[in-house]
A and B are shown apart, each in its own frame.
Chain A
Amino acid sequence: MDFLAIFNQDFFYTAIRMAAPIILAAVGEVMLERAGIFNLGIEGGILFGAFLGVLGSYLFQTPWMGLVLAILGGVVLGFVFGWATISLGANQAVTGTGINILFLGLTSLLARMIWGVRDVPLTVPAFQDISIPLLSDIPVLGPVFFRHSLLVYVSYLMVLVASFVLYKTTWGLKIRAIGEYPKAADTMGIHVIAWKYGMSVFGNVCACVSGVILSICFMNCFVDNISAGRGYMAVACVILGQWSPVGALLGGLIFGAGNALQMRLQIYNVPIPTSILLVIPMVLALVMVLLVRGKASARPAALSKPYEK
């Protein structure tokens, strides 16, 4: 077996596709954590978004309404999470855990209430892959980068947008100030609480749209627990990527590539137990987290600390 043959065009296509929902959720989490809030509840957000995406598409027979509903859901979730962690000063890790368990149950419960117990899940209209004219005809690069679904492009664009906002605008300066020295930011006249709420909403909307990618871009139906741990991976990406959007992108690509690799290693029948191959993405991420330890100072100084005036 030629090991390098694994890394063909299809490998990179899979890696980029699989990485997209994780990256989008991770970019949202980067902004949230930069403003000093740690959201472990991304997994719940992704599930909620995946469910609402299918619900919207089911009710209005167009995936666009699914997207709209998921964004609205993200806004609501952002306010609820913000209310708990910002206004009430709840422990952020525990709140997140609660949200994860809650939405794992709630989405499954609602899906069954609305669509009943079915042999196979109900299918709804979904987003189709879009080949970008001209670009998608470039040999090798075209099929790898330019034949994806709309929201996959959005995920990668969001990395650029978030980087730009965070490092090149006064908004970004404010957000970073809030995460590092909330008291100082407050005395400078920045409305700390409002900005934190804003980032909570942004982060949760990203998580919900990430769920939409899973349910009505990659698939066209809702399955219980469709997120299957991607929210936790997104949290890992933020730390892996040292709290920068580009870092989160690289982190997401490690998970995407790790999964693409793992799938192909199974196919090549390497003499390693399948269950070990399946955790290759996590092993890769762990190794990376331990390797990039030198810059632990990138962590926002006031992360997970509730802000009190």
Chain B
Amino acid sequence: MPAKPEASTKPEASANYDRLDQLVRRFEKLFNILIPVVAIAVSLLIGSIIILAQGASPLEAYAALLSGAFGNAYNLSNSLVMATPLILTGLGIALAARCGVINLGGEGQIIMGGIFATFVGTLPAMQGLPAPLYIPVCLLAAFLGGALWAIVPGYFFARHGVNFMITTMLLNDIASGIITALVQGPMKEPDKFAPQSAQVALSARLPILLPKTRLHAGFLIALILAVLAYVILFKTSFGHDLRTLGENPTAARHSGIHVFTMQMVIVIVAGGLAGMAGSAEILGSQYRLRSGFLSNYGYEALAVAMLGQKHPFGVVIAGILFGALKAGRGTMSRAADLPTSFSMVLSGVIIFFVAISPVLMKLPRYLAIREMNRKNRQDSTLSNAA
């Protein structure tokens, strides 16, 4: 909803307004890509101060970061594997944020997805199932698990206005208590002492897409779901209602949108996608359930959703960026002899700059207005000359 620009006080306001609008749009497209890049560049610059303080070379460190993330096929695949749960969880968070629901419960929903997928994936009764059947069943179970963990806070939010952020945040801790108890008790690998589940059945594992790499089918699923999310968000009336609800709740209510149903659906989808993120990691990479199997991904996915401007494709790109950072940070700290805490500082700074970068989105309008005024001045000098 573009606000009325100041330039519209001129007599030819309406024509000017249209031209301005076009200009703004053109600048905005550019900025959508530019802003995350700027945010990350500034963060790396700040990070280099710390690297220097540690007595290492920033260039060397960042070169190692890049090579660790993209240096060869394996490293690239590793980045994409790290990105997969971030994209899946981030998609759910982005969709929910589109209608004004901030989901801080990704962490717990990921855990529940992992638990459900592992449970089904290790169920003796299902071992004979062929992969084309077994894998979808596991993924579906994970979706249900994640959705289950979002549905209770979702109901209380949609029906009674109970703060969704706080309930989901508390449920994160509760989920981590549950997983720790499960891997020591009911879900522990029989006859073993280690607190971890048995490995999931071979036919339940997500296939590796490229031999000699870690890239598993979970990444493909994430991409497909991103396209699906895009279509739903921008090409269906449901998506239109969803965006209306987020942008203008009062108008949405008046236009007859069923807010409760809408919010419940979106909460279930967000939880379910996070659940699938958990299962993708278990079925595609770790193959067994352990406490803390994807720690901190829920919170990072929030940053991914925001960095991606809540747009499904933006989430994919931002997810890959964060995945690359995760994949490359180890190589970086080993090459430049930096403690692990440095990569945490770097992600923190990046998230901070991602958060404040929307202020730059005000620039397109500013630039467009300046451009307009310049043209108008030219026109008037021309007409004066005539």
Contact = CB atoms under 8 A, between A and B. Distances in A.
Chain A in direct contact with chain B (Cβ < 8 angstroms): yes
Interface of A: 40, 44, 84, 88-91, 93-95, 97-106, 108-109, 112-113, 224, 229, 232, 235-236, 239-240, 273-276, 278-279, 282-283, 285-286, 289-290, 293-294, 296, 299
A88 B185 CA distance: 50
Given A105-B342, A273-B181, A273-B184, A98 B162 contact: no
13 contacts: A40-B104, A89-B358, A95-B356, A101-B296, A108-B339, A109-B50, A112-B341, A224-B341, A275-B177, A282-B174, A293-B156, A293-B161, A296-B162
A95 B352 contact: yes
A235 B169 contact: yes
A239 B163 contact: yes
Given A235-B169, A279-B174, A290-B167, A101 B302 contact: no
B356 A239 contact: no
Contact of A99 (B104, B165, B181, B348): B348
A301 B155 CA distance: 21
Given A91-B358, A290-B156, A279 B348 contact: no
Given A94-B302, A275-B180, A101 B169 contact: no
B15 interface: no
A93 B160 contact: no
B127 interface: no
B349 interface: yes
A236 B50 CA distance: 33
Contact of B358 (A90, A294, A299): A90
A308 to B, nearest CB: 10
A105 B352 CA distance: 14
Contacts, number: 150
Given A90-B357, A90-B358, A294-B160, 8 more contacts: A84-B352, A88-B358, A103-B348, A106-B348, A108-B341, A273-B180, A275-B180, A282-B174
A101 B355 contact: no
Contacts of B162: 289-290, 293, 296
Nearest to B166: A239
Contact of A100 (B53, B160, B348): B348
B53 A88 contact: no
A90 B359 contact: yes
Given A113-B54, A276-B181, A293-B162, A98 B354 contact: yes
B49 to A, nearest CB: 12
Nearest to A38: B165
A273 B167 CA distance: 23
A93 B184 contact: no
Interface string B316-344: 00000000000000000000000101111
A149 to B, nearest CB: 27
Contacts of A273: 180-181, 184-185
B200 interface: no
Interface in B350-375: 350-359
A97 B351 contact: yes
Interface residues of B, number: 50
B171 interface: yes
Nearest to B360: A88
Interface in B149-167: 156, 160-163, 165-167
A232 B107 CA distance: 14
Given A94-B351, A94-B354, A276-B177, A296 B160 contact: yes
A101 B166 contact: no
Given A273-B181, A276-B178, A94 B355 contact: yes
A294 to B, nearest CB: 8
Nearest to B306: A94
B42 to A, nearest CB: 13
B173 to A, nearest CB: 4
A108 B348 CA distance: 13
A299 B185 CA distance: 41
A183 B316 CA distance: 38
Contacts of B13: none
Contacts of B265: none
A239 B157 CA distance: 13
A262 to B, nearest CB: 11
B175 to A, nearest CB: 9
Contact of A236 (B160, B166, B359): B166
Nearest to B180: A275
B30 interface: no
B160 A97 contact: no
B352 A98 contact: yes
A99 B356 CA distance: 12
B345 interface: yes
Contacts of B306: 91, 94
A276 B347 CA distance: 31
A91 B355 contact: yes
A217 B351 CA distance: 32
B83 interface: no
Contacts of B303: 94, 97-98
